[in-house]
Amino acid sequence: MASVTFEHVSKRYGEVTAVEDLDLEIVDGELMVLLGPSGCGKTTALRMIAGLEEISDGKLRIGDEVVNDVDPARRDISMVFQSYALYPHMTVARNIESPLLVRRYHVDGPGSPARKLTRAERRERVAEAARVLDLEPYLARKPAALSGGQRQRVALARAFVGRPKVFLMDEPLSNLDAKLRAQTRIELVDLHRRVATTIVYVTHDQVEAMTMASRIAVMADGRLQQVGTPQEVYDRPDNLFVAQFIGTPPMNCLSGTFSADAGGGVLVGTSRFPVPPGLQTPLVEGQALVVGVRPEHLPLATDGTIEAVVRAVEWLGHECLITVQVSGQTATVRQAGMSTSPVGSTITLAVDPAAVTLFDPASTRRLS
């Protein structure tokens, strides 16, 4: 087990910068999810930990050791690839055993020299990994004779069998169907709880991030946007990107101006949004702002201060999503049950000041 630390790490391919000045500490034992849209640099960051990509600038530490120039095989990490990358010509047993064949392990207590495992030790570990991941009936099969979910478990077994310091996972669930994905999410969290080892998990799926992560690192355009627990990232997004990336549907972000009248508020056209309590940043009359409100924090209310025209209603069974226009800007309202507002009608919405987040439109950052 070990922490992983990026210290001002950059990765450039010629003119293109994939990761820019990444500063991130992944704490020992946590499940850190690197989340972002495709091309944001999350996979590159993961591959730098693995040693499959060279680091252009900065330092990468695993534990206390700087590993910039350490061979991938000597970093004591393992990786689950998106395609699983199983050896198609080997049986499941041999696939799982593979990392044990060549690598050296400190198995004779702390301080003892690392050595290769004996055949009996290897067999024992393969059997254990197969038992934990429910693969015992399939040990003699080749990967081609397994289902997607089984292959995924073989890849996990191969990653866990060497008991590495850090597990790296690159979108391991993306090739599974929705039902299996949901089930495997739970199993992975359970597995993480049992082995208590650092996991760095890359995904573009915010549901995976929200449900599995100890902490989430949101990335975009090669830069780290925000690091925090799922709740922090959801409730207090640091900037407009995070606000609009996390959440299905994402946070409503409406442009408006500050008005000091009647105790202060943000005017979006004729609608008035309250200013969140405890706001430290001083606001001036007429200052341009972006108001962020989650769809579930915009309840219909007859005495509401926000006037909206219903444009579309999507009913999802347990709730409905109402797309509305507030002074020409589009917003989404989440409402339990079925909507009673017909398309084209005007409704009024209320909002709790505590649920409002204000952003500076120039810097896109949240006003604290």
Residues of this chain that bind other proteins (CB under 8 A):
50-52, 72-73, 77-79, 81-83, 85-91, 93-94, 97-99, 101-103, 119, 123, 126-127, 130, 139-145, 158
CB closer to other proteins, 37 vs 137: 137
Least separation in angstroms between residue 124's CB and other proteins is: 9
Beta carbon nearer to other proteins, 78 or 323 = 78
Smallest distance, other proteins to C-beta of residue 144, A = 4
Written as one letter, the residue type at 96 is I
The DSSP 8-state label assigned to residue 105 in this structure reads B
CA angle (237 as vertex; 234, 241 as ends), nearest 5: 110
Residue 82 or 327: the one with the smaller Cβ distance to other proteins is 82
Which is nearer to other proteins, 27 or 145 (by Cβ)? 145
In total, the chain counts a number of residues equal to 368
CB of 127 or CB of 309, closer to other proteins: 127
> CB-wise, 8 or 104, nearer to other proteins?
104
> What is the C-alpha to C-alpha distance for residues 248 and 294, in angstroms, rounded to an integer?
10
CB of 333 to other proteins, least distance (A): 43
Report the distance separating Cα 81 and Cα 66, nearest Å. Answer: 24
Nearer to other proteins, 103 or 311 (CB): 103
Closest among 106, 88, 90 to 98, alpha carbons compared: 90
Nearest-approach distance from CB 260 to other proteins, in angstroms: 58
Smallest CA-to-CA distance from 169 within 26, 34, 5 is with: 34
Token reading at 140: 């003699």
Q: Least Å distance between CB 116 and other proteins?
A: 10
Least distance (Å) between residue 41 CB and other proteins: 18
Instruction: Return d(Cα 39, Cα 31) in angstroms, integer.
Output: 22
Neighbour-count burial for 7-34, b at 16+ CB within 10 Å, e otherwise: eebbbeeeeebbbbebebebeeebbbbb
> CA of 84: how far to CAs of 126, 158, 169, 186, in Å?
18, 10, 10, 19
Shortest separation between residue 282's beta carbon and other proteins, angstroms:
53
| N-term to C-term CA, the chain | 36
